[in-house]
Amino acid sequence: MVIKTENLTYVYGQGTPFQKTAVDNVNLTFEGGEIIGVIGHTGSGKSTLIQHFNGLLKPTAGKITLDGEDIWADKSRLRAVRFNVGLVFQYPEYQLFEETVYKDIAFGPKNMGLSEEEIDKRVREAAEFVGLRAELLEKSPFELSGGQKRRVAIAGVIAMEPKVLILDEPTAGLDPKGRNKILDQIKAYHDKVQNTILLVSHSMEDVANYADKVLVMNEAKVFAYDTVENVFARSDELKAIRLAVPQVTNVFHRLRDEGLDVPKNVYTVGYAKKKILKALEEKGVFPRA
């Protein structure tokens, strides 16, 4: 499913003294099957932007299309849009409310009017995708750990089998182990279903490790939208708008500043290792296997 925005603009409090443009004339195209990291400092417009993709916010100007269809052209179609574009808010575990984990995950599919057999299949598949053991399905979600609650909330959206999955800071508040586990499960889910995932994150390392492309928002506008390596190669520009880059990128830029001939588009430790080993092989320090 292709998401496209055309001159998308959103203004909070239009016509009041508190008027503020949160998204300003944004033109983007997200192709199907990619993981797209979305970054930007607080107030950059990224959270407002993603709420347009499933119709939670209506544009002040411009439009959003899914596979060429304007999602606001027919308001009766918005329900279908929200099933196709699933949005998981930051700290989604605070939205859990059912008696059991099973019922919470089943809530979305049930509202889609699916059969009991199909609902059961989707609940169990979604639970497996996010690493929830079958015996947890009959427990109250409020008995679970913070990380488990987060996975229940994500499973509830996955169970609707959206063509586009939007995750707003899915690892916020989790320890490093919990963060990595959830991101690995999201990546495994994407590898299997090949849908489009928008991953909003403050962690440059997470975006570098898991995304195919990066969208950078700044002051309500698109600052950059490109491959991970091309975006993080612009580290000086990112720092100028108060954004960090992965630590390993900083290291390689420092090496370049010291006069060493190393690439500037290194953004993960694994990629850095390959580049270093290749350079050493070329200098004859390590013979090729």
pLDDT of residue 287: 55
pLDDT band at 211 (very low <50, low <70, confident <90, very high): very high
Instruction: Quote the pTM value.
Output: 0.87
Average pLDDT over residues 47-57: 95
Q: What is the CATH number of domain 3-228?
A: 3.40.50.300
pLDDT of residue 94: 84
Boundaries of every domain in the chain? 3-228, 246-289
Q: What is the DSSP string of the chain?
A: --EEEEEEEEEETTTSTT-EEEEEEEEEEE-TT-EEEEE--TTSSHHHHHTTTTTSS--SEEEEEETTEETTS-GGGHHHHHHHEEEE-SSGGGG--SSSHHHHHHHHHHHTT--HHHHHHHHHHHHHHTT--GGGTTS-GGGS-HHHHHHHHHHHHHTT--SEEEEESTTTT--HHHHHHHHHHHHHHHHHH--EEEEE-S-HHHHHHH-SEEEEEETTEEEEEEEHHHHHTTHHHHHHTT----HHHHHHHHHHHTT----S---SHHHHHHHHHHHHHHTTSS---
Average pLDDT over residues 249-278: 77
What's the length of the chain? 289
Q: What is the tens place of the pLDDT at every residue in 18-36? A: 999 999 999 999 988 999 9
pLDDT band at 84 (very low <50, low <70, confident <90, very high): very high
Q: How many alpha carbons lie under 13 Å from residue 131 in its C-beta half-sphere?
A: 15
Taking all residues of the chain, what is their mean pLDDT, rounded to a whole number? 90
Confidence check: pLDDT of 260 > 80: no
